[in-house]
Chain A
Amino acid sequence: MLTDADRPAPTPGHPFAPVPYRVRAVATETPDTTTIVIEPWGTRRIGRTQPGQFVMLYAFGIGESPIGVAGGHPDGQLVHTVRNAGKVTGALGRLTPGDTVGVRGPYGHGWPIGEAKGRDILIVAGGLGLPPLRPLVYELFARRESYGRVEIIYGARTPKDLVYYDEIQTWRRRNDLRLQVTVDAAGREWYGDVGVVTTRIPDARFETGRTTAFLCGPEIMMRMTAQALVARGLAPEAIWVSMERNMKCAVGFCGHCQFGPSFVCRDGPVLRYDRVQHLLSLREV
Chain B
Amino acid sequence: MSQETDPKVVDAVRAHPFFHGFDPAFVHEVCQHAREVRFEPDELLAKEGAPADVFYLILEGKVALEAGAADNPHLTVQTVGRDEVLGWSWLVAPHRWRFDARATKPVRAAALSAEVLRRTLASHPTWGYQFLIRFMPVLAERLENTRIQLLDLHAH
A10 at the interface (CB under 8 A from B): no
Size bracket, chain A contacts: 20 to 34
Interface centre among B76, B151, B152, B155 (most CB of A within 10 A): B76
Q: Which of B72, B104, B145, B156 contacts A218 (CB 8 A)?
A: B156
A55 at the interface (CB under 8 A from B): no
Considering the complex, which residues of chain B in the window 83-141 have a beta carbon less than 8 Å from any beta carbon of chain A? 104-105, 141
Considering the complex, which residues of chain A in the window 144-167 have a beta carbon less than 8 Å from any beta carbon of chain B? 155-157, 161
Question: Which residues of the other chain, B, contact A185 by a CB distance below 8 angstroms?
Answer: 75-77, 149
Q: Which of A193, A195, A218 contacts B155 (CB 8 A)?
A: A218
Q: Which of A156, A191, A224 contacts B148 (CB 8 A)?
A: A224
Cross-chain contact A220 with B78 (CB below 8 angstroms): no
B72 → A minimal CB distance (Å): 6
User: A-B contact count, CB below 8 Å?
Assistant: 75
Cross-chain contact B145 with A195 (CB below 8 angstroms): yes
* C-alpha gap A195/B104 in the complex (Å): 14
A235 at the interface (CB under 8 A from B): no
Q: Which of B64, B81, B149, B156 contacts A184 (CB 8 A)?
A: B149
* C-alpha gap A197/B145 in the complex (Å): 9
A18 at the interface (CB under 8 A from B): no
Cross-chain contact A196 with B79 (CB below 8 angstroms): no
Cross-chain contact A199 with B78 (CB below 8 angstroms): yes
- Contact code string A97-138 (vs B, CB < 8 Å = 1, else 0): 000000000000000000000000000001110000000000
Size bracket, chain B contacts: 20 to 34
Closest-by-CB residue of A relative to B77 is A185
B74 → A minimal CB distance (Å): 5
B70 at the interface (CB under 8 A from A): no
A187 at the interface (CB under 8 A from B): yes
Using A220-B148, A224-B148 as known contacts, say yes or no to A195 and B153 having CB atoms under 8 A apart: no
Closest-by-CB residue of A relative to B41 is A191
Cross-chain contact B75 with A186 (CB below 8 angstroms): yes
Q: Which of B145, B154, B155 contacts A199 (CB 8 A)?
A: B145
Question: Which residues of the other chain, B, contact A188 by a CB distance below 8 angstroms?
Answer: 64, 74, 76
Question: Which residues of the other chain, B, contact A83 by a CB distance below 8 angstroms?
Answer: 156
Question: Which residues of the other chain, B, contact A218 by a CB distance below 8 angstroms?
Answer: 153-156
A221 at the interface (CB under 8 A from B): yes
* C-alpha gap A203/B151 in the complex (Å): 23
Question: Which residues of the other chain, A, contact B149 by a CB distance below 8 angstroms?
Answer: 184-185, 196
Interface centre among A126, A156, A188 (most CB of B within 10 A): A188
Cross-chain contact A196 with B145 (CB below 8 angstroms): yes
Considering the complex, which residues of chain A in the window 242-264 have a beta carbon less than 8 Å from any beta carbon of chain B? 244
Question: Which residues of the other chain, A, contact B64 by a CB distance below 8 angstroms?
Answer: 188, 194
* C-alpha gap A198/B153 in the complex (Å): 10
Interface positions of B (Cβ within 8 A of A): 62, 64-65, 72, 74-79, 81, 104-105, 141, 145, 148-149, 151-156
